Amino acid sequence: MNMPTQLPFTIHSQDGNFTLTLTESAVFMQLSEEALAEAQGEIKKEMQEYEGDGTINRFVRFVLNATHKIVSGRIECPLDQIKSVEYHNNAIIFTYHKKPRISFDMISIGSQNTKALASFTASDAEEFVAQVQVALKR
């Protein structure tokens, strides 16, 4: 069995766009700092194009603000809601006691709609799974 590492324990997707992190109490997924900075820059640029007072401009700003909040956030699942985790068919698979409203397996990335949990290297994913399994036994 793998020895627990120092927490938080984070792995990065192969494209570097997001991370999966284990803490003492939860697992969460979020955009990497680089991807977040890029997204925020694009949102800021778009906001500047819609500075006027018209209805369309206000609506576009509302949508862009909502998008900013979404990309700046993270998807989190407390460890006590995770029943098990495994690495199978090149993807991390979480099983939940009660599936959350938004779960990690719902997230797809890129134009190919690749499952986010299948976007890590095998060695990173296997180590992450081992660390979560240790944490679940505590």
Question: Is residue 53 scored above 90 in pLDDT?
Answer: no
Residue linked to tokens 């998807």: 75
Q: State if pTM tops 0.75.
A: yes
3-state secondary structure of 16: coil
Q: What is the pLDDT of residue 110?
A: 72
Structure tokens at 77: 């699942």
pLDDT band at 32 (very low <50, low <70, confident <90, very high): confident
The rounded distance, in Å, linking the Cα atoms of 82 and 49 is 43
Q: What is the pLDDT of residue 3?
A: 54
3-state secondary structure of 97: coil
Question: What residues pair up with 12 in beta bridges, in sequence order?
Answer: 19
Question: Is residue 1 scored above 60 in pLDDT?
Answer: no
User: Beta strands 18-22 and 26-31: pairing type?
Assistant: antiparallel
Structure tokens at 62: 């509302």
Question: Is residue 111 scored above 90 in pLDDT?
Answer: no
